Structure 1
Amino acid sequence: MQTQGEVCQPGFFKASPYSRYCSKCPPYSYTYDKGSALCQCLDNYFRRDNDPPSMACTRPPTAPQNVISNINNTSVILDWSPPADAGGRKDVMYLVVCKRCSVDLIECDECGSGVRYIPQETGLKNTSVMVVDLLAHTNYTFEIEAVNGVSELSPIPRQFVSVNVTTNQAAPSPISVVKKKKIAKNTISLTWEEPNRPNGIILEYEIKYFEKDQEISYTIIKSKETEIVVDGLKPTTVYIFQIRARTAAGYGGYSRKFEFETSPVSLPAGDQSQMPIIGVSVTVGMILVAVVSGLLLSGRRCGYSKAKQDPEEEKMHFHNGHIKLPGIRTYIDPHTYEDPSQAVHEFAKEIDASCITIERVIGAGEFGEVCSGRLKLPGKREFPVAIKTLKVGYTDKQRRDFLSEASIMGQFDHPNIIHLEGVVTKSKPVMIVTEYMENGSLDTFLKKNDGKFTVIQLVGMLRGIASGMRYLSDMGYVHRDLAARNILVNSNLVSKVSDFGLSRVLEDDPEAAYTTKGGKIPIRWTAPEAIAYRKFTSASDVWSYGIVMWEVMSYGERPYWEMTNQDVIKAVDEGYRLPTPMDCPVTLYQLMLDCWQKDRNSRPKFEEIVSILDKMIRNPCSLKMLVNASTRGSNLLVEHNTMGLGAYRSVGEWLESLKMGQYTENFNESGYTSLDVVTKVTLEDLKRIGVCLAGHQKKIMNSIQELRVQCVNSMMPV
């Protein structure tokens, strides 16, 4: 180095003439001149005005990675991973660009100010955002860009990751304007405006009314028009009215409360327009009425009863109770049709075989090959599809069973349920055509990408699955075989529930299914009451969902490892539950345990599960606390007696039980010669021992955590 008064050589600089020493040019900068006061940045590297001269030159970050979208009606949650290269800076932030696109995604326009972003659209420091107030049944493209302090200085085109989503049908927005038309001694005539956001075709309106301060006793009328005459009212009495609209997606929220009073005497028709307006809207919240209790008072009728309204209107009376009203779509079992082909043609669109191009075989099912290909419908762009074919020489029963899956799938319309494009039944081979899921089954996808996703991204996948299952549960459909192998993943990392063929072989592995008198059951994923009594309900699907959570958090690990089906049945019945996967947040593992409650009525509903996961996504801090040995010891129920310390006489025998006997010598040479010592092994220790494969590390660490729990349980007072 040179002292003050000496000139800095090329490659060195002195920012201040009062500095004693010259400094070497920081990374990605240079100077070829003597006596330089500043080093210039290399091409495509930059320095902000307020960056100190001694700081390395930096560049814009690369695009974010692994974006995942979760759609909930007309809102979407986007999660992504940070860019692989932050450009050498720590001030990375994100911005989201929303575009509304045509069906073929060719023409896209900016979404504009009608869309809201939570917490914000630009300047995001976290890797997630919720976009709300989107339109129903609309295609959107979201571009997520990472920027840092020098992004604006770079002439290189912006780098972003994009994801395409299609919102699904949403319930209509609340009705905001309700006006009185005519008022008499015993009648009130009302009119209202359509919701600002109908989100589809309004099928009908529901009018709820009751005497003021008598909300527990109310009446409901339905109308297909935006006006109604309510009769049978008391004179000089104040009534409260609330109205809501229904589309194919269900009911929207009730309007605020509107207050109108009947007149003391009947007025001539000509004088109606002179009546003063006495309707006053109030903003008090509506009191939710309890679920059907059977305590309807004898003075009120329960059910539909024709009133004096228009034939299009129907009236129901309630008192201290609630009746589920028609309107929400309900699943119809295709096997209830006398002619199964009628169900297929009612729920599935017939496709001409000439529109389909089969490209390659991607798998095999019970009924035939599964292929990928292209579908080109008249007037629409060509797009990729998956094609299930029915093998030649099929029987009538095989054909019915094959097409029953299409009859089931065709009834569903949800972004987290595999979408049926149609069927080919009028030519051979008979085919079922669905959307193509580029990343295949979730279990295989996770195994290929072991450890590559953040916890919040895994929670996003789980949220999507739970959303799909909530939809199925609301429709009254029980899946019976919910497992990671039956979840498919597309190129946007959206997870979708699939495999609705209830009569197929569950897996090639004979240990995967347990045959009972009623058919095959996937034991490792099935609730105890479903195994013992074939009690399949939405609650048994929740148990299976807990197993899927475990599969996702363990990146596709096989539930219960090498235990036989009979051992699994016995262990679960005795209270054993799967231990927490490595690096699993406490809140997620607790949700798994809740799903595995023996009493099915104690398990959460899918609606609750979606709500819990949404809260985790909005509050990532809740996922930071990981399960450790002590919390596992307190949460885990009594373990199956073949899995503890006492079950193994040596480290070698323990490793052999895991089919990891090749590491016995490594453990012994590293000084881990007793199971007591093995319980203290960490992941770093495993690497030093010589267990290098991530899958082997995970399997051994899970078993070590099992041994730790056994130690904790053995020390607990009985």
Structure 2
Amino acid sequence: MPSNYTGACKPGSFKAFAGNTKCSKCPPHSSSHDQAATVCHCDKSFFRALKDPSTMACTRPPSAPRNVVSLINDTALFLQWMPPRDSGDRKDLTYNVLCQRCDTADSGLTQCEPCEPDLRFIPKALGLTGTSVAILEYAVHANYTFHVEALNGVSGLGVAARSLANITVNTHQAGPALVGVVRKDWATENSIALSWEQVEQPPADIVDYEVKYYEREQEQLSYSSTRTRTASVVVTGLRPSTVYVFHVRTRTTAGFTAYSPNFEFSTAAEDPDVADQGQVLVMVTASVGGFSLLVILTLFLLITGRCQGYIKARMKSEEKRRTRFHSGHVPFSGIKTYVDPDTYEDPTQAVEEFAKEIDPSYICIERVIGAGEFGEVCSGRLRLPGRMDVPVAIKTLKGGYSEQQRRDFLREASIMGQFCCTNIIRLEGVVTNSRPVMIVVEYMENGALDSFLRSRDGQFTVLQLVDMLRGITVGMTYLSDMGYVHRDLAARNILVDKNLVCKVSDFGMSRVLEDDSEAAYTATGGKIPIRWTAPEAIAYGKFSSASDVWSYGIVMWEVMSYGERPYWEMSNQDVILSIEEGYRLPAPMGCPVTLHQLMLHCWQKEAGQRPNFTDVLSFLDKLIINPGSLLTLANDAQSLTDSPEDLPDYPLFISIGDWLDSIKMSQYKNNFLAAGYTTLDSISTMNTDDIRRIGICLIGHQRRIISSIQSLRLQLHHIQQNGFQV
């Protein structure tokens, strides 16, 4: 017998494997009562998971979560809770959120059933590792009971009751009553106009309405939806002679209402006269030999190459049309493809294809509100038969125009007419058969975003500004999915309606910007808005969705600075050189650090490293759902990261003079020196009151200096982290 043989293990110890190894003491909450034990059995109410080794202590299920609270914020219901007091001595703690909707019957008994399936939990309902969840699309005037369950690796192995914490939430305060009767105002072969009224005055502000619809024969197997800010909508892309089912619900600042009852309406039948006219035309053409003539002419044009562009555009257009009306539903984003009007041999064909002709007698011009590139811009009303008056903006083409000017003017309409998105300016139609030639679009009461923000400096919450940015992102995501590159995305080209909905406009960037004060000639021979344009587009004329993302980052800066001019009074050449050297705009005053980080991400030098608009939209949605992430401001010294790799590459300054020169504010050098601010470190501690105290009174100059001080803090923090001396 070997000398190191220890014999059989005594009670209270075990040996997992036979051999000349020592016995081990039983792990906590386990024991062995016999000699020669190979495993220690768990004590009562303690367990091992299947994957737990025998050397691991026995554990138990967690106790229930604590202090579950609810909060209705914006369009979500938030639940938060504290971890259980007893985790069961395990680290693999997760949570499930279970939902019941309970209503009191006429008999007085409360009946509960599982919540509606379209209730959305973000990030999810089961397997949560955090202690909070957001619930979207809940109904108002309802009682929800949420059960928050704590679990770990040994939950379910015992017979103990589940570890649940319960909370009942009454959503009576979460929005208005149901939508009233939905009416059909008019219908065509491919569209239906609807309107409705609220049953009662809502206790919360209405954000918008969601209209859900599907073909009756589909039995909701496939449905589409659209949103509108007003209590009316025109649903397009429908099939002729088809019955559709509609129901509407309201979204308020507190949440969604339940859907209205179903309403069924039919589209109009196809006009047989159109088919008859087509048949007559074919017969007449055949009788005079027109078909042969058409073939000869087509062959001639193909040889000369003159009709190639037209055929290409027409094929794209027909393909787009088939996609649009497939299954009777408006296609989802990304299915439709933008057709460049320049691919048509005759641009007039593009206008006829994508823009509706309006009888000028239906247009009532009320007043001039501005001047456009081609003529005056007026406000007025569109009075279509059988439809309520619609406020519109009318662009007119001034007299004495050339045919090329007429084509350039109408080109924007042929572009706008291809878009259908709540955050893209809507084209009502055009007037081309009489003078003046007009483009009619929806009226945006608050005008351009940059001037709107300048006139309301500091009046909005950060969450409201983020919501504006989200609207712009939705519009740009739509355009990007269609394959359209805007090229001139800027706050001046974003329009704002009375409900603060932001819509992308101005689709004429391909024209030469002769009269644009923001434009400058580039190496490529074109004229583009330098301050908003990506470096590769300035240097090489490479416009893409990625260059639009760069421009979007500048728009973000404009919004968060309430309409400040990007790069202030720097010349266009200085802007180009500064960007090439790595300079990026600092965070505006009061800007959350998360938003400035997103701006910097949009301003990556390499286009392939920038986010796409879908990524930006997802990021903003997360910020809105978790508004606490917007509380940390970029100028908060405590928010600075200790990782130099995460800091933007700002240029280094050696003296106060260098710093002021870089922001074109050298006239204030003596103000700083006279007040005792002689080092960059002392300047980095200054705030707005300090700036005002040393005699800088212009608000715009105060802001520019404070914004630059924030970037200076980042620079100094970087230096300190790396052990340098200023």
Which residue of structure 2 aligns with residue 646 of structure 1? 655
Q: Does 1:599 align with 2:625?
A: no
Equivalent of 2:335 in 309, 315, 328: 328
Amino acid at match of 1:705: Q
Q: CA–CA distance in 1 between the matches of 2:600 and 2:680?
A: 28
Given the superposition, is the C-alpha separation of residues 433 and 686 from structure 1 closer, same or farther in structure 2, using an over 3 Å criterion? same
Gaps of 5+ in 2: 1-72, 78-115, 120-135, 142-168, 183-191, 226-234, 243-325
Which residue is equivalent to 2:485? 478
Name the CA shift for 1:551/1:351 in 2 (closer, same or farther; >3 Å): same
Q: Name the counterpart of 2:557.
A: 550
SS at match of 1:648: helix
**CA 1:717 to 1:432, structure 2 compared with 1: closer, same or farther past 3 Å?**
farther
Q: 1:535 aligns with which of 542, 560, 565?
A: 542
Contact 1:348–1:422 under 8 Å retained in 2: yes
Identity of aligned residues (%): 57
Q: Give 1:416-431 correspondences, 5 Å limit.
A: 416-431=423-438
1:241-640 matched pairs, under 5 angstroms: 328-504=335-511, 506=513, 510=517, 512-627=519-634, 628-629=636-637, 631=640, 635-640=646-651
**Distance in 1, Cα, partners of 2:342 & 2:178:** 40
Task: Name the SS for the 1:531 alignment partner.
Answer: helix
How far apart are 1:685 and its partner, in Å? 2.6
Rounded Cα–Cα distance in structure 2 between residues aligned with 1:655 and 1:594? 23
Q: 1:371 to 1:654 in 2, by over 3 A?
A: same
1:668–1:359 Cα change, 3 Å: farther
Give the corresponding residue for 2:685: 680
User: What is the SS of the residue equivalent to 2:495?
Assistant: strand
Could you say if the C-alpha distance between residues 114 and 137 of structure 1 is closer, same or farther in structure 2, counting changes exceeding 3 Å?
Answer: farther
Whether the aligned pair in 1 keeps the contact of 2:537 and 2:547 (CA below 8 Å) is yes
Q: Which amino acid aligns with 1:648?
A: G
Question: Which residue is 1:705 aligned to?
Answer: 710
SS in 1 for 2:655: helix
The alpha-carbon distance between structure 1 residues 139 and 589, as it changes in their structure 2 partners (threshold 3 A), is: farther
1:325/1:484 CA distance change after superposition, 3 Å:
closer
Contact 1:560 1:568 in 2 (8 A): yes
1:548 is paired with a residue whose SS is: helix
Q: Which has the higher contact order (CA 8 A, sep 6+)?
A: 1
- Closer, same or farther in 2 for the Cα pair 1:552/1:505, shift >3 Å? farther
Residue of structure 2 in register with 1:195 after alignment: 221
Cα distance in 2 for residues equivalent to 1:581 and 1:465 = 19
CA displacement 1:530-555 (0-9 Å, x = unmatched): 12221111111111111111111111
Residue by residue, what CA displacement relative to the aligned partner does 1:145-199 show, whole Å, maximum 9, x if unpaired? xxxxxxxxxxxxx8967447465788x79x9xxxxxxxxxxxxxxx996516455
Deviations 1:33-90 (A, max 9, x none): xxxxxxxxxxxxxxxxxxxxxxxxxxxxxxxxxxx99xxxxxx899xxxxxxxxxxxx
Higher helix share: 2
Query: How has the CA–CA distance of structure 1 residues 647 and 669 changed in structure 2, closer, same or farther, with 3 Å as cutoff?
Result: closer
Q: Which moved more, 1:479-488 or 1:368-377?
A: 368-377
- Three-state SS of the structure 1 residue aligned to 2:400 is coil
Partner of 1:217: none
2:340–2:415 Cα contact (<8 Å) kept: yes
The residue identity in structure 1 corresponding to 2:655 is G
With over 3 angstroms needed to count, the CA separation of the structure-2 counterparts of 1:445 and 1:677, relative to structure 1, is same
The 1:586/1:393 distance shift into structure 2, 3 A limit, reads same
Alpha-carbon distance between aligned partners in 1 of 2:209 and 2:525, rounded to the nearest angstrom: 39
* CA 1:501–1:167: 2 relative to 1, 3 Å: farther
Partners of 1:498 and 1:201 lie apart in 2 by: 21
- DSSP-derived class of the 2:374 partner: coil
2:523, 2:540 within 8 Å by CA — same for their partners in 1?
no
Q: Which runs of 5+ in 1 are unaligned?
A: 1-67, 70-75, 79-112, 145-157, 176-190, 205-223, 225-313, 315-323
After superposition, the C-alpha distances for 1:74-113 in whole angstroms (9 at most, x for unaligned) are xx899xxxxxxxxxxxxxxxxxxxxxxxxxxxxxxxxxx9
- Secondary structure of 1:551 counterpart: helix
Give the CA deviation at 1:688. 4.3
Judge conservation of contact 1:483–1:544 (CA < 8 Å) in 2.
Answer: yes
8 A contact 1:645–1:710 mirrored in 2: no
> Take 1:707 and 1:413, find their aligned partners in 2: how far apart are those partners?
44
CA distance in 2, matches of 1:509, 1:696: 25
- Trace 1:208-247 onto structure 2 (pairs within 5 A): none
Q: CA deviation at 1:686?
A: 3.2
Opposite residue 657 of structure 2, the aligned amino acid is: Y
Instruction: Kindly state the Cα deviation for residue 526 of structure 1 after the two structures are TM-superposed.
Output: 1.3
- The 3 A distance-change label for structure 1 pair 519 and 484 is same
2:564 is paired with a residue of what secondary structure? coil
Q: Is the 8 A contact 2:358 2:431 kept in 1?
A: yes
Which secondary structure does the structure 1 equivalent of 2:337 belong to? coil
Contact 1:371/1:387 (CA < 8 Å) preserved in 2? yes
Between the aligned partners of 1:602 and 1:582, the Cα distance in structure 2 is 27
Letter in 2 for 1:638: D
- Please report the TM-score for the alignment, with normalisation by the length of structure 1: 0.56
**SS at 2:498 equivalent:** coil
Q: Conserved in 2, the CA contact under 8 Å of 1:119 and 1:130?
A: no
- Per-residue CA deviation, residues 391-447 of structure 1 (Å, 9 max, x unaligned), is 111111111111000000000000000000111111111111100111111111111
* Alignment CA distance shift 1:717-1:656 (3 Å): closer
TM-score, L = length of structure 2: 0.55
Q: Which residue of 2 aligns with 1:284?
A: none
Provide the rounded CA distance (Å) in 2 between the counterparts of 1:554 and 1:330: 35
**Residues 688 and 507 of structure 1: CA distance in aligned 2, closer, same or farther (over 3 Å):** farther
Q: Distance in 2 between matches of 1:326 and 1:669?
A: 60
* Distance in structure 2 (CA, Å) of the matches to 1:470 and 1:611: 11
Tell me: CA distance 1:595–1:354, structure 2 relative to 1, closer, same or farther (3 Å). Answer: same
Residue 202 to residue 565, structure 1, CA distance change in 2 (3 Å): closer
Structure-2 change in CA distance of 1:448 and 1:159 (3 Å): farther
2: distance between equivalents of 1:457 and 1:194? 35
Give the secondary-structure state (helix, strand or coil) at the position aligned to 1:358.
strand
CA offset at residue 564 of structure 1?
Answer: 1.7
Structure 2 distance, partners of 1:591, 1:355, is 46
Residues 177 and 202, structure 2, Cα contact 8 Å, conserved in 1: no
| Structure 2 residue matching 1:378: 3-state secondary structure | coil
Amino acid at match of 1:195: L
CA RMSD of aligned residues (A): 4.3
Partner SS, residue 657 of structure 1: coil
CA–CA separation in structure 2 for the residues paired with 1:326 and 1:459: 22
Contact 1:539 1:601 in 2 (8 A): yes
* Amino acid of the structure 1 residue aligned with 2:649: V
Give 1:705 deviation, angstroms.
2.2
Count, aligned residues: 457
